[in-house]
């Protein structure tokens, strides 16, 4: 029986607790939060024995084997380090750390202590993503990926989180190096990192504050991001994050030398993109029929899984947690390779560094423009 | 109307009253009611992102006759709470969470309330904390049809099992106010409004029915809907705050001449817009809620427990309501009669549709 603890009792901790409760041979033995009332409410609802506001007390009193770290990202490094030093395996919510150097330190510490770590990229363990992974491993693409497209969008207008973030200049998300992007994009970047075979990648990023946010007086939160990733001029990828485009896509497309695949996370659909063409007018009529039959097949699969009680909203998280626990018990490799965690962190580092440079250049241009006109009357110039 | 000059209120006209959630649906009406009752010093606490239009209109209306100060901040921040409560003789805590997740609802209801209570202890100026709660806290599972739901009715004990984050947070908020009252002697009253309505609220209360599934399911039938017009509710909240001799009391707020669900729906369709609805008899809605609850439990939450027997008892069980205590102890009477309140509400709904 694995003894599990949760550190940080906010919204995502609820999902962790609910999924852990569905897994056999494990038990939540303690929860803790800097705000003890939050720890108490989680403990009451999930019938957890120990709750409190001190991490060291949690580790010594509840003696967990695994700790789920669901605190804001700024504290991931310190909390994870302490848990590893105390001999606990760690499941860290995304983003794993604030930068690749911290990620490297923690993973090295885990190795040194003979412990395991994983990151909460649970979107990569949904039913549809696992089907995609199986197809790729079976050689469906016909070779190494040639190109990938990852969309990970976010609707700022329909979220209490966004309202709180935009209204609160002290919000913890604003203190992250990549601000809003830092807390969200790792899911979409990790999808690409999974299929890059080397660490030698070139990243070109362009980001900006959307006109909507600018009209609300926001100048710091970059909510539109486009990235080109290139691996030794062999495999390329586009990453798109947008708060404004509709639909709010969460899609991944991967193209090989023979075929491609298109995964829609929101609809839980996977479509095979056939590389070969039909002759003449057949190309106009047969592929739509094949496409329709594939979508119908996806519908049937989703309904079958729902009726079999295997289609929960957080099924990916349950699968990832289960796989992680199995790797601990059986001594097998963790479900997300450390190389992938590090590469995701490195790509994000480069993106945020480039956005910082862009921001500095923009501010410099604004200042130069103000000096040139010598009429600093707009609020942008004055700031 | 009673005023501070005539009644033995516990605070004077220039004592500071802090109103949290001042830009919410009830907030501007409470500020208005305070001024109408003769209180001239109000601090309105709002989130930085709140829409100030209605509150600013109220302030403009009373410019010169009352000092109404807007303070922006976040009740999750202890520093903001300390600043907001400085010098307050009365706190009317309206701020509520609309969050659907348990942790966020709890954070924005219970932790914020605790922060306000602790801050008020620092300043030692508080004479009453008005905790604005909700009918949602009542269990109503064991109340017979012949006994009205009143202040003595039991509060839900197994609230963590209800599947309703708002109800969970409100029960815990009431608990923490009582705890601080007991442990630190903070004088407090709790006000539990029924379904507050009036201009500015467009949605039909869930006690009448739901349109989750594309067709309006009328679930209330002949049930009485515990409506309270926003101005009447605001008066009750203010009176609960200032009236002497009611420390620790709970007051339910409903108006007189309450309509049935069926009559409300008929009037809404006649005065606002026509739409298709289907009546679901009580026994059938109970069975459906029960089935949903059982499936949710069996499937370990594949469907969230949005419909269950707790909710059925709280919202759709045939229940009678009482405002006797409110009238007896606070001398409250509804300023706006229900027919007039409904007329204003329907007119506002029509306006919102054409906007």
Check CB contact under 8 Å for B111 and A166. Answer: no
- Start-end of H helices in B37-155: 53-61, 78-85, 102-106, 112-123
Chain A hits for B104, CB-CB cut-off 8 Å, are 10-11, 160
Query: Could you tell me which residues come within 8 angstroms of residue B110 by beta carbon, excluding any fewer than 6 positions away?
Result: A37, A41, B169, B172, B173, B176
What is the C-alpha R_g of chain B? 20
What does the alpha-carbon distance between residue A43 and residue A14 come to, in Å, rounded to a whole number?
A: 10
B residues 165-194 lying closer than 8 A (beta carbon) to A: 168, 172
pLDDT at B177: 98
Q: How far apart are the first and last CA of chain B?
A: 35
**Nearest C-alpha in A relative to B158:** A45
pTM for this structure?
0.92
Distance from CA of A85 to the nearest CA of B (A): 29
DSSP assignment letter at B248:
T
Check CB contact under 8 Å for A14 and B101. Answer: yes
Reported ipTM: the value is: 0.92
What does the alpha-carbon distance between residue A19 and residue A319 come to, in Å, rounded to a whole number?
A: 9
| B302 vs A10, A35, A312: nearest CB | A312
What does the alpha-carbon distance between residue A262 and residue A272 come to, in Å, rounded to a whole number?
A: 7
Distance from CA of A319 to the nearest CA of B (A): 15
Helices B53-61 and B27-36, interaxial angle, to 10°? 10
How is A296-354 classified by DSSP, letter by letter?
A: HHHHHHHHHHHHTT---TTHHHHHHHHHHHHHHHHTPPPSS-HHHHHHHHHHHHHHHHH
| A168 vs B74, B102, B299: nearest CB | B74
**Under DSSP, is residue B274 helix (H, G, I), strand (E, B) or coil?**
coil
Report which of A103, A90, A19 is spatially closest to residue A319, judged by C-alpha positions. Answer: A19
Helices A100-113 and A338-373, interaxial angle, to 10°? 160
What does the alpha-carbon distance between residue B172 and residue B155 come to, in Å, rounded to a whole number?
A: 11
Chain B hits for A166, CB-CB cut-off 8 Å, are 49
Q: Residues B153, B155, B160, CA angle at the centre, nearest 5°?
A: 160
Is residue B145 less than 8 Å (CB to CB) from chain A?
Answer: no
Report which of B31, B20, B9 is spatially closest to residue B131, judged by C-alpha positions. Answer: B20
Is residue B60 less than 8 Å (CB to CB) from chain A?
Answer: no
pLDDT in tens, A328-375: 999 999 999 999 999 999 999 999 999 999 988 877 776 666 555 544
pLDDT in tens, A299-322: 999 999 999 999 999 999 999 999
The size of the A-B interface in CB pairs under 8 A is: 57
What does the alpha-carbon distance between residue B14 and residue B7 come to, in Å, rounded to a whole number?
A: 15
**Under DSSP, is residue A67 helix (H, G, I), strand (E, B) or coil?**
strand
Chain A hits for B47, CB-CB cut-off 8 Å, are 167
Q: What parts of chain B have a pLDDT lower than 50? A: none
Check CB contact under 8 Å for B104 and A160. Answer: yes
Question: Do residues A6 and A17 make contact, with C-beta atoms less than 8 angstroms apart?
Answer: yes
Candidates A33, A34, A41: best to mutate against B (most CBs of B within 10 A) is A41
Q: How far apart are the first and last CA of chain A?
A: 58
Distance from CA of A274 to the nearest CA of B (A): 34
pLDDT at A163 over 80: no
Check CB contact under 8 Å for A41 and B298. Answer: no
Please state whether beta strands A50-52 and A269-273 pair in parallel, antiparallel, or not at all (unpaired): unpaired
Q: In whole numbers, what is the pLDDT of chain A averaged over residues?
A: 93
pLDDT in tens, A105-158: 999 999 999 999 999 999 999 999 999 999 999 999 999 999 999 999 998 876
In which order are the strands placed within the sheet that holds A269-273? A201-208, A224-231, A235-242, A147-152, A250-255, A260-264, A269-273
Strands (DSSP E) found in chain A: 2-7, 26-32, 50-52, 66-69, 89-92, 117-119, 147-152, 201-208, 224-231, 235-242, 250-255, 260-264, 269-273
Check CB contact under 8 Å for B301 and A10. Answer: no
pLDDT at B4: 58
In which order are the strands placed within the sheet that holds B209-210? B209-210, B216-218, B277-279
Chain B hits for A321, CB-CB cut-off 8 Å, are none
């Amino acid at each position: 029986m694995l003894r599990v603890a949760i550190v940080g009792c906010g919204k995502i901790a609820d999902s962790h607790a609910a999924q852990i409760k569905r897994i056999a041979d494990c038990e939540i033995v303690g929860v803790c939060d800097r705000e003890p009332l939050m720890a108490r409410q989680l403990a009451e609802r999930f019938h957890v024995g120990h709750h409190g506001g001190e991490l060291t007390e949690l580790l010594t009193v509840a003696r967990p084997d695994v700790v789920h770290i669901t605190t804001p990202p700024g504290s991931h490094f310190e909390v994870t380090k302490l848990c590893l030093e105390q001999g606990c395996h760690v499941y860290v919510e995304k983003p794993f750390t604030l930068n690749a150097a911290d990620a490297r330190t923690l993973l090295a510490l885990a190795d040194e202590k003979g412990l395991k770590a994983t990151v909460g990229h649970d979107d990569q363990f949904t039913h549809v993503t696992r089907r995609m992974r199986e197809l790729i491993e079976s050689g469906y693409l016909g070779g190494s990926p040639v190109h990938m497209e990852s969309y990970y969008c976010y609707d700022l207008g329909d979220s209490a989180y966004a309202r709180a973030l935009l209204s609160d200049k002290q919000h913890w998300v604003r203190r992250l190096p990549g601000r809003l992007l830092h807390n969200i994009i790792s899911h979409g970047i990790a999808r690409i990192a999974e299929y890059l075979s080397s660490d030698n990648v070139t990243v070109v990023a362009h980001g900006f504050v959307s006109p909507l946010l600018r009209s609300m007086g926001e100048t710091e939160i970059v909510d539109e991001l486009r990235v080109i990733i290139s691996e030794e001029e062999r495999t390329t990828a586009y990453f798109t994050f947008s708060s404004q485009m509709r639909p709010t896509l969460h899609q991944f497309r991967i193209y090989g030398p023979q075929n491609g695949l298109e995964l829609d996370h929101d609809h839980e659909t996977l479509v095979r993109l056939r590389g070969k063409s039909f002759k003449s007018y057949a190309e106009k009529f047969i592929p739509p029929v094949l496409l329709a039959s594939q979508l119908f097949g996806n519908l049937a699969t989703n309904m079958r899984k729902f009726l079999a009680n295997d289609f929960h909203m957080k099924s990916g998280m349950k699968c990832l947690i289960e796989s992680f626990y199995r790797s601990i018990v059986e001594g097998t490799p963790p479900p997300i390779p450390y190389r992938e965690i590090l590469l995701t962190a490195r790509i994000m580092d480069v993106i945020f560094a480039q956005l910082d440079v862009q921001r500095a250049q923009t501010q410099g241009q604004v200042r130069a423009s103000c000096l040139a006109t010598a009429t600093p009357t707009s609020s942008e110039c004055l700031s | 109307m009673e005023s501070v000059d005539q009644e033995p209120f516990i605070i004077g006209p220039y004592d500071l009253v802090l109103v949290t959630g001042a830009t919410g649906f009830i907030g501007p009406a409470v500020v208005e009611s305070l001024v109408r009752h003769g209180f001239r010093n109000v601090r309105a606490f709002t989130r930085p992102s709140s829409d100030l239009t209605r509150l600013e209109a109220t302030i403009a209306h009373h410019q010169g006759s009352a000092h109404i100060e807007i303070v922006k901040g976040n009740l999750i921040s202890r520093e903001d709470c300390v600043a907001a409560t400085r010098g307050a003789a009365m706190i009317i805590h309206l701020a509520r969470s609309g969050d659907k997740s348990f942790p966020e609802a709890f954070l924005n209801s219970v932790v914020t309330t605790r922060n306000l209570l602790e801050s008020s202890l620092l300043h030692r100026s508080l004479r009453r904390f008005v905790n604005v709660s909700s009918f949602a806290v009542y269990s109503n599972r064991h109340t017979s049809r012949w006994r009205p739901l009143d202040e003595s009715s039991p509060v839900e004990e197994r609230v963590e099992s209800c599947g309703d984050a708002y109800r969970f947070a409100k029960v815990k908020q009431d608990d923490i106010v009582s705890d601080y009252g007991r442990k630190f002697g903070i004088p407090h009253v709790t006000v539990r409004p029924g379904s507050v309505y009036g201009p500015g609220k467009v949605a039909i209360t869930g006690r009448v029915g739901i349109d989750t599934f594309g067709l309006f399911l009328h679930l209330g039938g002949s049930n009485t809907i515990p409506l309270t017009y926003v101005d009447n509710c605001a008066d009750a909240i203010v009176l609960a705050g200032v009236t002497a001799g009611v420390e620790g009391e709970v007051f339910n707020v409903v108006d007189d001449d309450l309509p049935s669900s069926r009559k409300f729906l008929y009037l809404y369709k006649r005065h606002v817009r026509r739409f298709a609805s289907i009546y679901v008899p009580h026994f059938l809605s109970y069975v459906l809620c029960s089935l949903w609850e059982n499936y949710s439990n069996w499937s370990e939450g594949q469907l969230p427990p949005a419909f269950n027997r707790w909710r059925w008892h709280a919202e759709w069980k045939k229940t009678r309501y009482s405002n006797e205590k409110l009238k007896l102890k606070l001398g409250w009477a509804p300023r706006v009669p229900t027919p007039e309140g409904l007329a204003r509400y329907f007119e506002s709904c029509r306006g919102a549709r054409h906007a």
